[in-house]
Amino acid sequence: MKPEMITIDGNEAAAKVAYKISDVIAIYPITPSSAMGEWADQWAAEGETNLWGVVPQVVEMQSEGGAAGAVHGALQTGAMTTTFTASQGLLLMIPNMYKIAGELTSAVFHIAARSIAAQGLSIFGDHSDVMAARSTGWGMLASNSVQEVNDFALIAAAATLKARVPFLHFFDGFRTSHEVNKIELVTLETIRAMIDDDLVMAHRGRALTPDNPFIRGTAQNPDVYFQARESANPYYLEAPIIVQEAMNQFAQLTGRQYHLFDYAGAPDAERVIVIMGSGAETVEETINYLVERGEKVGVIKVRLYRPFAAAAFLATLPPTTKTIAVLDRTKEPGATGEPLYLDVIAALNEAYEGRFNHPVRTVGGRYGLSSKEFTPGMVKAVLDELKQPRPKNHFTVGIYDDVTHTSLDWDKTFSIESEEVVRAVFYGLGSDGTVGANKNAIKIIGEDTPNHAQGYFVYDSKKSGSTTVSHLRFGPNPIRAPYLIQSANFVAVHQFNFMERYDVLRLAAPGATFLLNSPFPPNEVWNQLPRSAQETIIEKNLRFYVIDALSVARETGMGRRINSIMQTCFFALMNLPSLPTDKAIEAIKEAIVKTYGKRGQAVIEQNFAAVDATLQNLHLVPAIPYVTSKFERPPVVPTHAPEFIRSVTARIIEGLGDDLPVSAMPVDGTYPSGTTCWEKRNISDEIPVWDPDICIQCGKCALVCPHSVIRLKVYDPELLGDAPETFKSAPARFKEYKEMAYTLQVAPEDCTGCTLCVEVCPVKNKRQPKLKAINMAPQQPIRETERENWEFFLNLPEIDRTELPLNQVKYNQLLEPLFEFSGACAGCGETPYLSLLTRLFGDRTLVANATGCSSIYGGNLPTTPWTHNREGRGPAWSNSLFEDNAEFGLGMRITLDQRLDAAATLLTQHRDLIGSDLVDSLLTADQSTEAGIQAQREWVAQLKARLEALRLAPTETVGLKAKIENLLNLADVLVKKSVWIVGGDGWAYDIGYGGLDHVLASGRNVNILVLDTEVYSNTGGQMSKATPRAAVAKFAAAGKPLPKKDLGLLALSYGTVYVARVAFGANDAQTVKAFLEAEAYDGPSLIIAYSHCIAHGYDLKYGLQQQQAAVNSGHWPLYRFNPALENGDTPFHLDSKPPSIPLADYIYREGRFQMLTQSHPDAAAHLLEQAKEDIQKRWQTLAQLANPAK
Amino acid sequence: MDLSTTYLGLKLKNPLVPSSSPLSRSLDNLKRMEDAGAAAIVLYSLFEEQINQESHTLDAYLTQGVESYAEALSYFPEAREYNTGPDVYLEHIRQAKASLEIPVIASLNGVSTGGWVRYARDMQEAGADALELNVYYLPTDLYMTSGEVERLYLDILADVKTVVKIPVAMKLSPYFSSMANMAHRLDVAGANGLVLFNRFYQPDLDLDNLEVVPNLKLSSSNELRLPLRWIAILYGRVQADLALTTGVHTVTDVLKGVAAGAAVTMIASELLKNGINRLIVLRQGVEAWLTEREYESLEQLRGSLSQMNCAEPAAFERANYMRVLSSYAPDYPWRLHSWGVM
């Protein structure tokens, strides 16, 4: 069969082979490897068979540790087994990996190599994870490109069967896993030829079976463990030979020859770089460029890293080599060098003699951590450094290290890109479909023309209003440039406001084409550009085109999706000889049918209409040779922002974080909180506007606002004297504040436009019921005035929290939220809970946050929404891992308890010195109310003052000074602290459940908030045990067949845990009550909070209605179980009524359920009936708990 | 008693035809209708608008939030296929045809020329015995003339007739300036039947919540008069068969419909309200009435009280209107004032 040329990404390339040669695939989602498991699951759901004609079993586990265990078990029972993972996931697999290797088991794991969380988490690519696993005894095979991923997936599988050494097959996360490139797909015949059935049978023959019983996995003692460990040596000695044989066989079948180490460059090279992973492609291309220009340089691409075949390595190294730079894409602090460097050093040391008749100097360097760019300029810098008599060792390249001065300088303008390669960069919004269209464009070019093509996509750190940058290359030769485009001959800007936000023309090459989606016609657009953009267009002599794509989209029913329109413009402006415009349009339409065909004719026709309406609206802007603009791009943050914000945060916001030097970075991952307020994103065209005349001041809009954009204050009307002209106010409608004024103020530049506030507003304008007490209006005309109003509002005094009845929404929403303007999705159903939490307890809260959505919108640089009040108090937040969050939070509590004990001990010991009354007040304070807490704060202040005085006073008592210092340090702990353990259902129900259960059983005073979206939201909608029956999710494509785990009832079974199930959109008062009770309960509390989510598949403006429907249908009963009420009152309160609407009325308003009726109608009907039974049964259980006598 | 009738060229055993309603979504119900004596069944309507809506909604589900954030480039698995088009409906026709002896009339409500034509052809291919084009159209456009509205109906009919061989009935609303002329033009254009009249569901106002709310009210016998009148007027003057729909609840209603000239009387609200077995009662009642009055057959009754055959043809026209007013006036003078007719 002729090999198929196909344009796919690295993950798909790996999965395509892995799937074919697996019986069992056990996985767990983790970026950037999730897609491999998703592909496998999709193919299994579609009934695609493996090499042996059977559909593999694809099973999602509760963690990577669980996946590794399942893999181990499957291997031990003879299945051809694989998994896909990365980063922390691989770390969790390590214990099993030792076992699998120790038992000489044939297996391949495919790894999208990624950074490991250290001073901060990173989802991006480097070799930190695989290097952490290098001692497990697994073979390690590195792929450098999408083609190699496809090839090595098979070579690794063939080799492991023969060698019996298991293999990690790894490639660079994102850079390779997500790069789309044109490859020659390995054929089924090749797979069949490479996978020796006899070896497969031998693997199966080693399986555990009661028909041939033996034991494996013994416990061994000092007498034999050592010898047994050495017994496998021959296999490791043989493994490299076997890998090379597999590579040779593969070459015979495909024509693509690989070696354990491949050399490229001058045969008489004197300077050589050793490297593995995608960076090797960049090095090789650069070396080829330099060799053509006479330089004696070369590169060794390491394919097989473990077992490290030293002899083969040395045989590959040209005898002329004088200096070697070994580049590691990892960091091993404290080591004498990074792993590859040390291996090369050892290899040279062991086999140096006889190979070289001159000294060879070897240096090591680090590059590309967390997908840091690695460019030809950097390669050249390394090679230039090797020319030095004493080249720098342990260097870094790609950053500017002004602290320990490890970095090499590089020429940022150095380029080796051929003029034959077209380079196009597209700036878009996530929501406008730019990336999807570009993926199609790459496929069109790759598959409909003889061109080779490459696509890589850079995403934002925010989930709402996120910017995407697509980098597309194509040309007559294979594209081997795994780095971002540095000089583009086509720049498209799909959102006009980017012109003010970013230097989008920075990458434009002289004479490049510039396409702008502009609401302004060609004769007006010029004056709407900032000065710097005009200057660049003139200076670079850009060909400037505009199209009002949004109007075309609107007129053709596409809404805001301009993808097909901009794609059509791209092809028209490119006008490739191999793909003239008319042919390109045909290809675009074919791609539309391929992409959207399954969704129905109407969608196809709409897209066709948009394509057909495009070209008549595409216009060349007449060149204007002089700058006319009166304005410049505004500063990223205000000039009065704190120094760190201006010098560091602002650079990151602007997309210039790569330019920050090492010295700008906090050394231990500590960053200031309260920084989102400086990042004015202006992402919504419309914002809410208050109508003070009809507002009843209920506070619901503020409660539901996911981004804490709506603020309420009651204040002295006299303060209005200095108010801006348009500042709105109304008499306060509170019985306690009769003479006061009230204002609802919107932060105009932070709103995401979700409209939840409008949806929840209970008031209607009597003349025009379509209007409420809060209504959406265009932002642009009121941005300036509302910005001024917002500033004025912020300076109004905060309410005295000691006087407020906190259990009422109307009152507690007057409190300042200490969680604001997060990057969560517009309309997020999680963040209102966090906002409420911080309003109620934020000034004395510690937050342990599980990895997931909440850790990303909570802690993804550049800014954090966790903030502080005027006194400087606010939530102290940290994220440890995904799996350990409950334990992490428990650790915080234990410390607080210990410190409280220590403080109490010291206070008691020094009662006389401090004063008995004060000590008694401090130790017996009732902190169950805000007033009590405030009183304690004042006593602590007195204590500190007293201690300060004692500290300065002369004393001869041994150790007293130290004790006073200690007590001073401990004093603040005397004010009640609240520990909140926050995370999603993936954490609480799955990966972290063991820890969560242990913490619930600990009896300690922690509050656990589960933001239950019923799916792994952050990694793209994989099923968790919280996913309800009948919902579609990844790994449940045919609908989840089993019911949602009842975490509440499990926790309730302890009888000592406060448990509440809440849904703020259904009953905000019950939610507030649960938060207050949970916090007040002196023991573990668990709040399971219904969180509507983008992964539910509907417009989130209806999130609150859906919460109500979830409760009314019985899907989400509300209750509270308060063990504190055991004596007398019933501890269990059922807070919702029996199901009053059909379940179908709730679920079929959501895509996750509805789409099952379209994809698997019979299963949908069947699962609906079962889900109805689930509800009935659960309701009966809860009703019984509420009324045990009945 | 011979209750047989011919509608759209289909020989039917009686004039009782369940009209388009949610009841026909279930194959079980279709079978029960046949068993209860239905002579033919009009299936629930396939709404092109709904198909489009489902398609757009699915697209929105699968598109929302995708390719925006590096960790979540999509939120749902892609199924190999989705039932977004008319497949479910067409399969329903096939299954209905396979399990019923009586004719199955498919009902279609399109929004585009392409849609009308495509789905009509699909329905024919799926085995439908006839088509009912349910032109449920409310012209709210201030700039659309009555001529344009009429043209729309004629064009739809012409387009569909060019692609199907099976008979086609037009289900109409009563809101034409010239109902008789409209019926005539549709007749000339090849309509095999006219179904009079479509019932527009009127929204209600919720004063507590200041909202406009959909309000589905089932019909009553009081609503029979309007179609009855127009059937009586058109009977014998158009070649198309006439079907009376809206307001048929009782034996008397059925008999009146036939007497006015209806080939069939269509029933939905009555079955929704009182069950499918009402068909048995209606058929027996019709038979008993005819027997009691010594009719030879139902055919003998058909059209006997149409404008053409009745003793007082003017009763269907303006003279009748004046008589009603004068008989009404003494009781409710205020109402007539407010209507501006006195």
pLDDT tens digits, A963-1000: 999 999 999 999 999 999 999 999 999 999 999 999 99
Report the CATH number at residue B256. Answer: 3.20.20.70
Q: What is the mean pLDDT of residues A1145-1149?
A: 96
**Per-range mean pLDDT, top range of A256-260, B114-118, B202-206, B333-337:** A256-260
Calpha distance A512→A492 (Å, rounded): 10
Most confident range, picked from A183-187, A436-440, A630-634: A183-187
- Measured between beta carbons, which residues in chain A are less than 8 angstroms from residue B54? 600, 1158
Asked if pLDDT for residue B333 goes beyond 70, the answer is no
Please write the tens of the pLDDT for every residue from A372-406.
999 999 999 999 999 999 999 999 999 999 999 99
The answer to whether domain A681-799 has CATH 3.90.480.10 is no
Q: Is A1094 on the interface with B (CB under 8 A)?
A: yes
Mean pLDDT of all residues in A164-188: 98
Mean pLDDT score, A734-748: 96
Q: Return the residue matching tokens 């017994």.
A: A231
pLDDT, position B313: 84
Q: Are residues B39 and B26 in the same domain?
A: yes
Instruction: Provide the 8-state DSSP code for A645.
Output: I
Pick from B70, B82, B211: CB nearest A31: B70
> Any CB–CB contact under 8 A between B220 and chain A?
no
Same domain, B227 and B341: no
Q: Which residue from B minimizes the CA distance to A768?
A: B210
- Answer yes or no: do B252 and B328 share one domain: no
Integer angstrom CA distances of residue A472 from A147, A425, B121: 17, 6, 44
B64–chain A Cβ distance below 8 A for any pair: yes
Choose the closest CB to A42 out of B55, B77, B82. Answer: B77
- A5-206+220-253 matches A259-408 in fold: yes
pLDDT digits (tens, 9 = 90+) for A873-920: 999 999 999 999 999 999 999 999 999 999 999 999 999 999 999 999
**Which pLDDT tens digit goes with each residue over A701-722?**
999 999 999 999 999 999 999 9
Tell whether B208 lies on the interface with A, counting CB pairs under 8 A. Answer: no
CB A95 within 8 A of CB A131: no
Are B299 and B327 found together in one domain? no
**DSSP E strand boundaries for chain B:** 5-7, 10-12, 16-18, 41-47, 104-109, 130-134, 168-172, 193-196, 204-206, 211-213, 241-245, 264-267
Q: Residue B199's pLDDT is what?
A: 83
In a shared domain, residues B221 and B322: no
Q: Are A577 and A547 in contact (CB under 8 A)?
A: no
Contact A1061, A1079 (CB under 8 A): no
3-class SS of residue B328: helix
Q: How far is residue A732's CA from residue A696's CA, in Å, rounded to a whole number?
A: 9
Are the C-beta atoms of A703 and A1068 separated by less than 8 Å? yes
Interface test with B, best of A439, A1018, A1159 (most B CBs within 10 A): A1159
Rounded Cα gap, residues B287 and B298, in angstroms:
8
Residues A274-323 have pLDDT tens digits of 999 999 999 999 999 999 999 999 999 999 999 999 999 999 999 999 99
Percent of chain A past pLDDT 90, that is, above it, reads 93
- Summarize the confidence of residues A401-420 as an average pLDDT: 96
Full domain range(s) for residue B143 = 5-306
Helix or strand or coil: residue A359? coil
Q: E strand or H helix at A421, and its extent?
A: none
Q: Say if CB A981 and CB A885 are below 8 A apart.
A: yes
d(C-alpha A976, C-alpha B50), whole Å: 58
Please determine, for residue B339, whether its predicted confidence score (pLDDT) is greater than 70: no
Give residue-wise pLDDT tens across range A549-576: 999 999 999 988 899 999 999 999 998 8
**Residues of A known to be catalytic:** 31, 64, 114, 1018
Q: What is the model's pLDDT at position A788?
A: 98
Overall fold of domain A978-1186:
Rossmann fold (3.40.50)
The residues in A 93-152 lying below 8 A from B, measured between CB atoms, are 123
Confidence at residue B337, expressed as pLDDT on a 0 to 100 scale: 39
Q: What pLDDT is recorded for position B334?
A: 39
Q: What is the pLDDT of residue A324?
A: 98
C-alpha closest to that of A303 among A346, A245, A243, A371: A243
Residue B335's pLDDT band, with cuts at 50, 70 and 90, is very low
What pLDDT score was predicted for residue A431?
84
- Would you call A1099 an interface residue with chain B, using a CB distance cutoff of 8 Å? yes
Q: Whole-angstrom Cα distance, residue A1186 to residue A1132?
A: 5
H or E element in which residue A240 lies: helix A233-254
Residue the block writes with tokens 């007006």:
A524
Indicate the domain borders of chain A.
5-206+220-253, 259-408, 422-620, 636-672, 681-799, 895-974, 978-1186
User: Per-residue pLDDT averaged across A73-89, rounded?
Assistant: 98
How many other CB atoms are there within 10 angstroms of residue B36's CB atom? 19
A1154 contact residues in B (CB cutoff 8 A)? 57, 61
Of chain A, the percentage scoring pLDDT greater than 70 comes to 99
Choice between A835 and B309, residue whose per-residue pLDDT is larger: A835
Q: What pairs with residue B5 in β-bridges?
A: B12
Name which of A502, A489, A651, A492 is nearest A565 in CA terms.
A492
Compute how many other C-beta atoms are within 10 angstroms of the C-beta atom of residue B331: 9
pLDDT above 60: residue A755:
yes
Q: Are residues B86 and B220 in the same domain?
A: yes
Q: Residue A692 is inside which H or E element, if any? A: none
Percent of chain B predicted with pLDDT > 90: 71
Q: Could you read off the pLDDT of A583-620 as tens digits, one per residue?
A: 999 999 999 998 888 888 889 999 999 999 999 999 99
Largest CA distance in chain A: 97
Q: What is the CA radius of gyration of chain A?
A: 32
Interface check for A1098 against chain B (CB to CB < 8 A): the answer is: yes
Residue pair A146/A181 in contact by the 8 Å Cβ criterion: yes
Helix B27-35, helix B87-99: angle, nearest 10: 30
Global pTM?
A: 0.94
Amino acid B322: pLDDT: 56
Burial class (CB in 10 A: 0-12, 13-18, 19+), A912: exposed
Query: Is B203 in the same domain as B327?
Result: no
Q: Which residues contact B239 (CB under 8 A, 6 or more apart)?
A: B187
B125 touches chain A (CB under 8 A): no
Task: Please report the pLDDT score of residue B315 as a whole number.
Answer: 81
The CA-based angle A801-A804-A806, given to 5 degrees, is: 100
Q: Are residues B332 and B288 in the same domain?
A: no
ipTM: 0.92
B113 touches A: beta carbon within 8 Å: no
Q: What is the reported pLDDT for B320?
A: 57
Pick from B52, B68, B83: which is nearest to A466 by CB? Answer: B68
Largest CA distance in chain B: 82
| Interface test mutation site (partner A, options B46, B47, B69, B118, max chain A beta carbons within 10 A) | B69
B174 and B86 fall within a common domain? yes
pLDDT for the residue B318: 65
Dump pLDDT digits (tens) for B271-300: 999 999 999 999 999 999 999 999 999 999
Look at residue B331 and tell me whether its pLDDT is greater than 50.
Answer: no
- A5-206+220-253: CATH number: 3.40.50.970
The domain made up of A259-408 has a fold known as: Rossmann fold (3.40.50)
Best A123, A174, A567, A598 member to test B by mutation, with max B CBs in 10 Å, is: A598
For the domain spanning A636-672, the CATH number is 4.10.780.10
Number of domains composing chain B: 2
Query: Which among A764, A1019, A1037 is the nearest to B72, CB-wise?
Result: A1019
Would you place residue B201 in the very low, low, confident or very high pLDDT band (cuts 50, 70, 90)?
A: confident
E runs forming strands in A447-542: 452-458, 467-475, 488-493, 508-517
Mean pLDDT of chain A: 96
| B116/B213 same-domain check | yes
Q: B55–A1019: do the CB atoms touch at under 8 Å? A: no
Residues B257 and B333 in one domain: no
- DSSP 8-state symbol, A718: G
Q: What is the pLDDT of residue A1125?
A: 87
Pair (B215, B317) in one structural domain: no
Q: Could you say which architecture CATH assigns to the domain A422-620? A: 3-Layer(aba) Sandwich (3.40)
Q: Do residues B1 and B301 make contact, with C-beta atoms less than 8 angstroms apart?
A: no
What is the per-residue pLDDT across A844-855, written as a single tens digit (0 to 9) for each? 999 999 999 999
Question: Is residue B28 less than 8 Å (CB to CB) from chain A?
Answer: no
Using alpha carbons, select from A604, A612, A609 the residue that is nearest to residue A572. Answer: A612
* Interfacial A residues in 19-58 facing B (CB < 8 Å): 31-32, 34-35, 38, 41-42, 45-46
Q: Would you say residue A821 has pLDDT above 70?
A: yes
Q: How many CB pairs below 8 Å do chains A and B form together? A: 161
